[in-house]
Amino acid sequence: MGVPYKFNRQELAGSLGDLGVVLPLGIAMILVNGLNPLGLFFSVGLFYLLSGMYYRIPVPVEPMKVIGAYAVATGITASEIMASSLLIGVLLLVIALTGAMTLIGKYTPKEVVRGVQLSTGLLLMAEGVRFMIGTSTFQKLQEAAEPYLVIQDIGPVPFGLVLGLVGGVVTLLLLDNKKLPAALVVVLGGMLVGLLLGTREGLSQVSPGFNLPEFMPFGFPSGVDFSFALLVLVLPQLPMTLGNAVIANVDLSRQYFGEAAHRATYKANCITMALANFFSFFVGGMPLCHGAGGLAAHYRFGARTPGSNVIIGAIFIFLAVLLGVNILGILYLIPMAVLGVLLVFAGSQLALTIMDLKERKEFFVVFTIVGITLATNLAAGFIVGIIVAYILKSEKLSI
Protein backbone atom coordinates (compact mmCIF):
# COMPACT_ATOMS: atom_id res chain seq x y z
CA MET A 1 0.00 0.00 0.00
CA GLY A 2 1.40 3.37 -1.03
CA VAL A 3 0.02 6.82 -1.67
CA PRO A 4 -2.74 7.01 -4.34
CA TYR A 5 -1.63 8.67 -7.58
CA LYS A 6 -2.63 12.27 -8.17
CA PHE A 7 -1.97 14.36 -11.26
CA ASN A 8 -2.54 18.03 -10.54
CA ARG A 9 -0.72 21.37 -10.36
CA GLN A 10 0.84 20.56 -7.01
CA GLU A 11 2.28 17.27 -8.25
CA LEU A 12 3.55 18.98 -11.42
CA ALA A 13 5.19 21.74 -9.36
CA GLY A 14 6.68 19.21 -6.95
CA SER A 15 8.06 17.17 -9.82
CA LEU A 16 10.12 20.19 -10.95
CA GLY A 17 11.59 20.83 -7.50
CA ASP A 18 14.88 19.00 -8.06
CA LEU A 19 15.74 20.36 -11.52
CA GLY A 20 18.36 22.57 -9.89
CA VAL A 21 20.47 19.48 -9.17
CA VAL A 22 19.72 17.33 -12.23
CA LEU A 23 20.04 19.86 -15.06
CA PRO A 24 23.30 21.73 -14.32
CA LEU A 25 25.37 18.62 -13.60
CA GLY A 26 23.73 16.65 -16.42
CA ILE A 27 24.32 19.40 -18.98
CA ALA A 28 27.88 19.95 -17.74
CA MET A 29 28.73 16.26 -18.15
CA ILE A 30 27.33 16.33 -21.68
CA LEU A 31 29.35 19.41 -22.66
CA VAL A 32 32.58 18.64 -20.80
CA ASN A 33 32.75 14.84 -20.76
CA GLY A 34 30.82 14.07 -23.95
CA LEU A 35 28.03 12.01 -22.41
CA ASN A 36 25.12 11.16 -24.68
CA PRO A 37 22.23 13.67 -24.20
CA LEU A 38 19.58 11.20 -25.33
CA GLY A 39 20.86 8.37 -23.13
CA LEU A 40 21.35 10.66 -20.14
CA PHE A 41 17.90 12.23 -20.06
CA PHE A 42 16.11 9.05 -21.13
CA SER A 43 17.72 7.14 -18.22
CA VAL A 44 16.82 9.93 -15.76
CA GLY A 45 13.20 9.86 -16.95
CA LEU A 46 12.95 6.07 -16.79
CA PHE A 47 14.45 5.99 -13.27
CA TYR A 48 11.93 8.61 -12.13
CA LEU A 49 9.03 6.71 -13.67
CA LEU A 50 9.89 3.23 -12.42
CA SER A 51 10.94 4.45 -8.94
CA GLY A 52 7.60 6.18 -8.42
CA MET A 53 5.70 3.13 -9.62
CA TYR A 54 7.62 0.79 -7.31
CA TYR A 55 7.85 2.86 -4.12
CA ARG A 56 4.36 4.43 -4.54
CA ILE A 57 5.59 7.71 -2.99
CA PRO A 58 7.58 10.63 -4.47
CA VAL A 59 11.13 9.41 -5.09
CA PRO A 60 14.12 11.63 -5.96
CA VAL A 61 16.50 10.98 -8.86
CA GLU A 62 19.85 12.76 -8.88
CA PRO A 63 23.35 12.55 -10.36
CA MET A 64 26.04 11.04 -8.14
CA LYS A 65 27.65 14.31 -7.11
CA VAL A 66 31.16 13.19 -6.18
CA ILE A 67 31.59 11.44 -9.52
CA GLY A 68 29.85 14.23 -11.44
CA ALA A 69 31.77 17.07 -9.82
CA TYR A 70 35.13 15.35 -10.34
CA ALA A 71 34.26 14.47 -13.92
CA VAL A 72 33.34 18.04 -14.80
CA ALA A 73 36.29 19.57 -12.96
CA THR A 74 38.91 17.33 -14.61
CA GLY A 75 37.33 16.54 -17.98
CA ILE A 76 37.72 12.76 -17.75
CA THR A 77 36.47 10.55 -20.57
CA ALA A 78 32.96 9.22 -21.07
CA SER A 79 34.34 5.65 -20.89
CA GLU A 80 35.72 6.29 -17.40
CA ILE A 81 32.32 7.59 -16.29
CA MET A 82 30.63 4.53 -17.80
CA ALA A 83 33.02 2.30 -15.88
CA SER A 84 32.08 4.08 -12.65
CA SER A 85 28.36 3.49 -13.34
CA LEU A 86 28.88 -0.24 -13.77
CA LEU A 87 31.18 -0.59 -10.77
CA ILE A 88 29.03 1.33 -8.32
CA GLY A 89 25.99 -0.59 -9.56
CA VAL A 90 27.74 -3.87 -8.77
CA LEU A 91 28.89 -2.66 -5.34
CA LEU A 92 25.42 -1.41 -4.39
CA LEU A 93 23.89 -4.72 -5.46
CA VAL A 94 26.41 -6.69 -3.39
CA ILE A 95 25.86 -4.42 -0.35
CA ALA A 96 22.10 -4.91 -0.67
CA LEU A 97 22.04 -8.66 -1.25
CA THR A 98 24.56 -9.51 1.49
CA GLY A 99 22.56 -7.59 4.09
CA ALA A 100 25.47 -5.22 4.76
CA MET A 101 23.33 -2.16 4.08
CA THR A 102 20.78 -3.20 6.70
CA LEU A 103 23.55 -3.46 9.30
CA ILE A 104 25.05 -0.10 8.30
CA GLY A 105 21.63 1.53 8.56
CA LYS A 106 20.82 -0.14 11.88
CA TYR A 107 24.01 1.05 13.57
CA THR A 108 24.05 4.59 12.15
CA PRO A 109 22.85 6.93 14.95
CA LYS A 110 20.01 9.36 14.27
CA GLU A 111 22.23 12.36 14.90
CA VAL A 112 24.57 11.19 12.12
CA VAL A 113 21.61 11.00 9.73
CA ARG A 114 20.60 14.52 10.75
CA GLY A 115 24.17 15.71 10.23
CA VAL A 116 24.15 14.31 6.70
CA GLN A 117 20.80 15.96 6.03
CA LEU A 118 21.89 19.35 7.40
CA SER A 119 25.18 19.21 5.50
CA THR A 120 23.41 18.33 2.26
CA GLY A 121 20.88 21.09 2.82
CA LEU A 122 23.58 23.70 3.39
CA LEU A 123 25.52 22.52 0.33
CA LEU A 124 22.37 22.83 -1.79
CA MET A 125 21.67 26.34 -0.49
CA ALA A 126 25.27 27.44 -1.11
CA GLU A 127 25.18 26.05 -4.66
CA GLY A 128 21.87 27.82 -5.24
CA VAL A 129 23.43 31.15 -4.26
CA ARG A 130 26.38 30.43 -6.56
CA PHE A 131 23.96 29.88 -9.42
CA MET A 132 22.45 33.30 -8.75
CA ILE A 133 25.74 35.20 -8.58
CA GLY A 134 27.39 33.20 -11.36
CA THR A 135 30.21 31.42 -9.53
CA SER A 136 29.27 27.72 -9.87
CA THR A 137 31.66 25.35 -11.63
CA PHE A 138 29.35 25.09 -14.63
CA GLN A 139 29.11 28.87 -15.02
CA LYS A 140 32.88 29.28 -14.71
CA LEU A 141 33.35 26.71 -17.46
CA GLN A 142 30.95 28.67 -19.66
CA GLU A 143 32.65 31.95 -18.65
CA ALA A 144 29.27 33.58 -18.04
CA ALA A 145 26.86 33.85 -15.11
CA GLU A 146 23.90 33.23 -17.42
CA PRO A 147 25.44 31.41 -20.41
CA TYR A 148 22.21 31.30 -22.39
CA LEU A 149 20.89 34.83 -21.82
CA VAL A 150 21.89 37.89 -23.87
CA ILE A 151 21.80 40.07 -20.75
CA GLN A 152 24.42 39.47 -18.08
CA ASP A 153 24.19 42.62 -15.98
CA ILE A 154 21.82 45.47 -15.20
CA GLY A 155 24.29 48.24 -14.52
CA PRO A 156 26.59 47.00 -11.74
CA VAL A 157 24.16 44.25 -10.66
CA PRO A 158 24.36 40.71 -12.14
CA PHE A 159 21.12 39.91 -13.98
CA GLY A 160 21.10 36.44 -12.41
CA LEU A 161 21.03 37.99 -8.96
CA VAL A 162 17.99 40.07 -9.94
CA LEU A 163 16.29 36.98 -11.33
CA GLY A 164 17.17 35.03 -8.20
CA LEU A 165 15.81 37.67 -5.84
CA VAL A 166 12.58 38.00 -7.83
CA GLY A 167 12.25 34.22 -8.00
CA GLY A 168 12.92 33.93 -4.27
CA VAL A 169 10.24 36.49 -3.37
CA VAL A 170 7.73 34.81 -5.71
CA THR A 171 8.56 31.43 -4.15
CA LEU A 172 8.07 32.76 -0.62
CA LEU A 173 4.72 34.28 -1.55
CA LEU A 174 3.48 31.15 -3.33
CA LEU A 175 5.15 28.41 -1.32
CA ASP A 176 1.89 27.02 0.05
CA ASN A 177 -0.39 28.30 -2.72
CA LYS A 178 -2.28 25.40 -4.32
CA LYS A 179 -3.71 27.39 -7.23
CA LEU A 180 -0.35 28.84 -8.28
CA PRO A 181 2.34 26.39 -7.10
CA ALA A 182 5.67 28.14 -6.55
CA ALA A 183 7.98 25.84 -8.52
CA LEU A 184 5.65 25.80 -11.52
CA VAL A 185 5.40 29.60 -11.61
CA VAL A 186 9.14 30.08 -11.14
CA VAL A 187 10.21 27.51 -13.75
CA LEU A 188 7.68 28.63 -16.37
CA GLY A 189 8.52 32.28 -15.64
CA GLY A 190 12.19 31.46 -16.08
CA MET A 191 11.54 29.75 -19.41
CA LEU A 192 9.60 32.82 -20.55
CA VAL A 193 12.63 34.96 -19.68
CA GLY A 194 14.75 32.47 -21.64
CA LEU A 195 12.48 32.82 -24.68
CA LEU A 196 12.45 36.61 -24.54
CA LEU A 197 16.05 37.30 -23.54
CA GLY A 198 17.84 34.06 -24.38
CA THR A 199 20.58 33.36 -26.88
CA ARG A 200 18.31 30.61 -28.26
CA GLU A 201 21.35 28.36 -28.53
CA GLY A 202 20.39 25.02 -30.02
CA LEU A 203 16.75 26.06 -30.39
CA SER A 204 16.94 26.30 -34.18
CA GLN A 205 18.21 22.70 -34.34
CA VAL A 206 15.24 21.35 -32.39
CA SER A 207 13.15 19.21 -34.70
CA PRO A 208 10.64 16.53 -33.64
CA GLY A 209 11.40 12.93 -34.48
CA PHE A 210 11.52 9.49 -32.89
CA ASN A 211 14.76 8.70 -31.10
CA LEU A 212 15.83 5.84 -28.87
CA PRO A 213 19.10 5.57 -26.90
CA GLU A 214 22.01 3.90 -28.64
CA PHE A 215 23.32 0.71 -27.01
CA MET A 216 26.75 1.33 -25.47
CA PRO A 217 27.59 4.42 -27.55
CA PHE A 218 31.15 4.58 -26.13
CA GLY A 219 31.91 0.86 -26.36
CA PHE A 220 33.01 -1.27 -23.39
CA PRO A 221 35.45 0.49 -21.03
CA SER A 222 39.03 -0.77 -20.83
CA GLY A 223 40.72 -2.28 -17.81
CA VAL A 224 42.50 1.02 -17.23
CA ASP A 225 39.14 2.80 -17.26
CA PHE A 226 37.81 0.44 -14.57
CA SER A 227 40.92 0.79 -12.39
CA PHE A 228 40.78 4.58 -12.57
CA ALA A 229 37.02 4.66 -11.95
CA LEU A 230 37.25 2.41 -8.89
CA LEU A 231 40.00 4.35 -7.13
CA VAL A 232 39.19 7.93 -8.12
CA LEU A 233 35.41 7.95 -8.62
CA VAL A 234 33.62 5.01 -6.99
CA LEU A 235 35.38 4.63 -3.61
CA PRO A 236 35.05 8.36 -2.74
CA GLN A 237 31.39 8.31 -3.87
CA LEU A 238 30.26 5.20 -1.99
CA PRO A 239 30.17 6.56 1.61
CA MET A 240 28.23 9.63 0.44
CA THR A 241 25.77 7.40 -1.42
CA LEU A 242 25.21 5.15 1.60
CA GLY A 243 24.86 8.12 3.96
CA ASN A 244 22.71 10.47 1.89
CA ALA A 245 21.06 8.46 -0.89
CA VAL A 246 20.22 5.45 1.27
CA ILE A 247 20.11 6.13 5.03
CA ALA A 248 19.10 9.81 5.01
CA ASN A 249 16.73 9.33 2.09
CA VAL A 250 14.91 6.38 3.69
CA ASP A 251 14.68 8.28 6.99
CA LEU A 252 13.15 11.31 5.28
CA SER A 253 10.73 9.15 3.27
CA ARG A 254 9.38 7.71 6.50
CA GLN A 255 9.18 11.16 8.12
CA TYR A 256 7.13 12.50 5.23
CA PHE A 257 4.97 9.51 4.32
CA GLY A 258 4.88 7.19 7.34
CA GLU A 259 3.54 3.70 6.64
CA ALA A 260 3.03 4.54 2.96
CA ALA A 261 6.84 4.50 2.64
CA HIS A 262 7.13 0.85 3.72
CA ARG A 263 8.86 -0.09 0.46
CA ALA A 264 11.56 2.54 1.04
CA THR A 265 14.10 0.29 2.75
CA TYR A 266 17.90 0.39 2.75
CA LYS A 267 18.04 -2.77 0.66
CA ALA A 268 15.47 -1.57 -1.88
CA ASN A 269 17.18 1.81 -2.32
CA CYS A 270 20.49 0.10 -3.05
CA ILE A 271 18.89 -2.26 -5.57
CA THR A 272 16.96 0.42 -7.48
CA MET A 273 20.09 2.59 -7.68
CA ALA A 274 22.12 -0.39 -8.88
CA LEU A 275 19.61 -1.13 -11.65
CA ALA A 276 19.53 2.53 -12.67
CA ASN A 277 23.31 2.61 -12.98
CA PHE A 278 23.37 -0.59 -15.03
CA PHE A 279 20.93 1.02 -17.46
CA SER A 280 22.94 4.27 -17.54
CA PHE A 281 26.04 2.23 -18.33
CA PHE A 282 24.37 0.69 -21.39
CA VAL A 283 22.96 3.95 -22.83
CA GLY A 284 25.78 6.41 -22.09
CA GLY A 285 24.09 8.30 -19.25
CA MET A 286 25.46 9.57 -15.94
CA PRO A 287 25.73 7.71 -12.60
CA LEU A 288 22.40 8.09 -10.77
CA CYS A 289 21.18 7.86 -7.20
CA HIS A 290 18.36 8.82 -4.86
CA GLY A 291 19.00 11.58 -2.32
CA ALA A 292 17.50 13.24 0.73
CA GLY A 293 17.99 16.68 -0.82
CA GLY A 294 15.97 15.74 -3.87
CA LEU A 295 13.17 14.32 -1.76
CA ALA A 296 13.05 17.51 0.34
CA ALA A 297 12.87 19.54 -2.88
CA HIS A 298 9.99 17.54 -4.36
CA TYR A 299 8.08 17.58 -1.09
CA ARG A 300 8.60 21.28 -0.38
CA PHE A 301 7.25 22.27 -3.77
CA GLY A 302 4.14 20.12 -3.59
CA ALA A 303 4.85 16.47 -4.41
CA ARG A 304 2.76 14.18 -2.20
CA THR A 305 2.08 11.17 -4.45
CA PRO A 306 3.94 9.02 -6.99
CA GLY A 307 2.10 11.02 -9.64
CA SER A 308 4.92 13.58 -9.41
CA ASN A 309 7.42 10.90 -10.47
CA VAL A 310 5.23 9.82 -13.35
CA ILE A 311 4.91 13.45 -14.51
CA ILE A 312 8.61 14.35 -14.47
CA GLY A 313 9.63 10.91 -15.77
CA ALA A 314 7.20 11.22 -18.68
CA ILE A 315 8.45 14.75 -19.44
CA PHE A 316 12.08 13.62 -19.60
CA ILE A 317 11.32 10.51 -21.66
CA PHE A 318 9.00 12.41 -24.03
CA LEU A 319 11.55 15.17 -24.67
CA ALA A 320 14.40 12.66 -25.08
CA VAL A 321 12.48 10.49 -27.55
CA LEU A 322 11.02 13.47 -29.42
CA LEU A 323 14.14 15.65 -29.64
CA GLY A 324 17.04 13.23 -29.24
CA VAL A 325 20.43 14.89 -28.87
CA ASN A 326 18.84 18.32 -29.46
CA ILE A 327 16.98 18.24 -26.14
CA LEU A 328 19.49 20.75 -24.74
CA GLY A 329 17.94 23.50 -26.88
CA ILE A 330 14.84 23.36 -24.66
CA LEU A 331 16.68 22.98 -21.35
CA TYR A 332 18.90 25.99 -22.06
CA LEU A 333 15.78 28.18 -21.74
CA ILE A 334 15.79 27.83 -17.94
CA PRO A 335 18.13 30.47 -16.45
CA MET A 336 20.73 29.29 -13.94
CA ALA A 337 19.39 31.72 -11.31
CA VAL A 338 15.96 30.06 -11.47
CA LEU A 339 17.56 26.67 -10.78
CA GLY A 340 19.37 28.38 -7.91
CA VAL A 341 16.07 29.45 -6.35
CA LEU A 342 14.88 25.84 -6.35
CA LEU A 343 18.11 24.71 -4.70
CA VAL A 344 17.95 27.31 -1.92
CA PHE A 345 14.44 26.36 -0.88
CA ALA A 346 15.11 22.63 -1.22
CA GLY A 347 18.21 22.96 0.93
CA SER A 348 16.41 24.91 3.63
CA GLN A 349 13.69 22.26 3.82
CA LEU A 350 16.27 19.52 4.30
CA ALA A 351 18.31 21.50 6.83
CA LEU A 352 15.26 21.92 9.07
CA THR A 353 15.09 18.17 9.75
CA ILE A 354 17.47 18.67 12.70
CA MET A 355 14.65 20.29 14.69
CA ASP A 356 13.74 16.98 16.35
CA LEU A 357 17.11 16.77 18.12
CA LYS A 358 17.34 17.79 21.79
CA GLU A 359 20.64 16.67 23.34
CA ARG A 360 23.86 18.70 23.24
CA LYS A 361 25.85 15.61 22.25
CA GLU A 362 23.55 15.09 19.27
CA PHE A 363 24.06 18.66 18.09
CA PHE A 364 27.82 18.31 18.54
CA VAL A 365 27.82 15.31 16.19
CA VAL A 366 25.67 17.19 13.67
CA PHE A 367 27.92 20.26 13.63
CA THR A 368 31.05 18.11 13.49
CA ILE A 369 29.70 16.49 10.33
CA VAL A 370 28.83 19.90 8.87
CA GLY A 371 32.30 21.29 9.62
CA ILE A 372 34.13 18.33 8.12
CA THR A 373 31.82 18.31 5.10
CA LEU A 374 32.44 21.98 4.38
CA ALA A 375 36.21 21.49 4.79
CA THR A 376 36.45 18.23 2.83
CA ASN A 377 33.41 16.31 1.60
CA LEU A 378 30.22 14.63 2.81
CA ALA A 379 31.71 11.14 2.71
CA ALA A 380 34.40 12.13 5.22
CA GLY A 381 31.81 13.92 7.37
CA PHE A 382 29.61 10.82 7.42
CA ILE A 383 32.44 8.48 8.47
CA VAL A 384 33.86 10.79 11.15
CA GLY A 385 30.32 11.52 12.40
CA ILE A 386 29.70 7.83 13.11
CA ILE A 387 32.99 7.56 15.03
CA VAL A 388 32.29 10.70 17.11
CA ALA A 389 28.69 9.62 17.82
CA TYR A 390 29.84 6.30 19.29
CA ILE A 391 32.62 7.94 21.32
CA LEU A 392 30.09 10.35 22.84
CA LYS A 393 27.86 7.49 23.97
CA SER A 394 30.21 7.16 26.91
CA GLU A 395 28.65 8.52 30.12
CA LYS A 396 32.09 9.84 31.14
CA LEU A 397 32.11 12.38 28.31
CA SER A 398 30.08 15.55 28.29
CA ILE A 399 29.73 18.42 25.83
Q: Which residues touch 261 (CB under 8 Å, ≥6 apart)?
A: 2, 55, 57, 250, 253, 254
The Cα–Cα gap between 151 and 108 comes to: 48
The pLDDT of residue 28: 87
Question: Helices in the chain by DSSP H: which ranges?
Answer: 9-15, 19-33, 37-55, 65-74, 78-97, 100-106, 110-133, 137-142, 159-174, 182-197, 223-228, 235-240, 249-257, 266-283, 292-300, 307-323, 328-331, 336-351, 360-375, 378-391
Q: One-letter amino acid identity for 214? A: E
| DSSP class of 63 | E
Cα separation, 260 vs 322, in Å, equals: 35
d(C-alpha 334, C-alpha 190), whole Å: 5
**Are the beta carbons of 248 and 117 closer than 8 angstroms?**
yes
- The pLDDT profile of the chain, 399 residues, written as one tens digit per residue, is 678 999 999 999 999 988 988 998 899 899 889 999 999 999 999 999 999 999 999 999 999 988 998 898 788 999 999 999 999 999 999 999 999 999 999 999 999 999 999 998 999 899 999 999 999 888 988 889 999 999 999 988 999 999 999 999 999 999 888 888 999 999 999 999 999 999 988 888 888 899 999 999 999 999 999 999 999 899 889 998 999 999 999 999 999 999 999 999 999 999 999 999 999 999 999 999 999 989 999 999 999 999 999 999 999 999 999 999 899 899 899 999 999 999 999 889 889 989 989 999 999 999 999 999 999 888 889 999 999 999 999 888 888
343 contacts 20 by C-beta, under 8 angstroms: yes
Check residue 149 and report its DSSP letter.
B
pLDDT at 65: 87
Can you give the pLDDT at residue 202?
A: 80
The bridge status of strand 153-154 relative to strand 157-158 is antiparallel
| pLDDT for 137 | 85
